[in-house]
Amino acid sequence: MDIWSKYHNFFITGAKYTIIIAFFTVIIGTLIGLCLSLMKLSKNKILRFIASIYIEFIRGTPVLVQLYLIFYGLDYVGIHFSGIVSGVITLSINSGAYVAEIIRAGINAVDKGQTEASRSLGLSHAATMRHIIIPQALKNILPALGNEFITIIKESSIVSVIGIAELMYEADTVRGNTFEPFTPLIFAAIIYFVMTFTLSKLVGAFERRLRVSDIR
């Protein structure tokens, strides 16, 4: 425990940056995913084509390559982002492709009769999606979305390679300072587990609350 008592501030700082990166990634990635899913479900062939190309390319390339393209590639052409912004952009772009497929599957799982009924009542397509389809789809996809959010927390460790002082970077710093190859990683693993376990419980509580509201 000597390592923790001496270097706990390193781990706390790293956890703080991990949470910040994950928080903004979840918000931006979900918005990207929602837009992409609606594009892929659109009757417009061009929008469907763009969404399909985006999703297939992002899912078919490593997130590390995407991070280097954002951080180093854009800087090479004169567009510079800080490390933390580059990390959030990269993880959001990556997560958006997966969230898009999750949302699309959830929307397709909603009974088609819901759409027909709402349209017969005079609701527009946009109003039907906003008030009828998407809220029901959210209940269907919440477990999968929760898993994606947990994945984001774990994947945020990738930004350590560009010098962002998140949890994994700080753990490596402590390893270098103490010449302890194992113990700092144990502390990092425990902190990651606490964050992901807490998020899992929050998503589970929200899911149960939605089920209760359905019963009522």
Interval 19-72: pLDDT, tens: 999 999 999 999 999 999 989 988 899 999 999 999 999 999 999 999 999 999
pLDDT at 94 over 70: yes
Dump pLDDT digits (tens) for 147-169. Answer: 999 999 998 989 988 888 889 99
| Total count of domains within the chain | 1
Distance between CA 168 and CA 97 in Å, rounded?
25
User: In the predicted model, what is the mean pLDDT of residues 135-154?
Assistant: 86
Per the CB < 8 A criterion, the answer to whether 66 and 159 are in contact is no
CATH number, position 196? 1.10.3720.10
Q: Which long-range contacts (CB under 8 A, 24 or more apart) does 115-120 make?
A: none
Q: At what angle do helices 167-178 and 183-215 cross, to 10 degrees?
A: 160
Q: What residue spans of 42-182 are helical by DSSP H?
A: 45-59, 63-68, 74-76, 83-109, 112-120, 125-128, 134-155, 167-178
CA distances from 110 to 96, 99, 103, 132, 139 (A): 21, 17, 11, 9, 10
Per the CB < 8 A criterion, the answer to whether 188 and 160 are in contact is no
Pair of tokens at residue 192? 């990651």
The residue range of the domain holding 184 is 2-215
Pair of tokens at residue 136? 């029901």
In the predicted model, what is the mean pLDDT of the chain?
Answer: 88
Burial of residue 44 (number of CB atoms within 10 Å: 0-12, 13-18, 19+): exposed
Burial of residue 154 (number of CB atoms within 10 Å: 0-12, 13-18, 19+): middle
Distance between CA 154 and CA 156 in Å, rounded?
5
The pLDDT-based confidence of 92 (bands split at 50, 70, 90) is very high
User: In the predicted model, what is the mean pLDDT of residues 97-120?
Assistant: 83
Distance between CA 102 and CA 137 in Å, rounded?
10
Give the predicted TM-score (pTM) of the model. 0.86
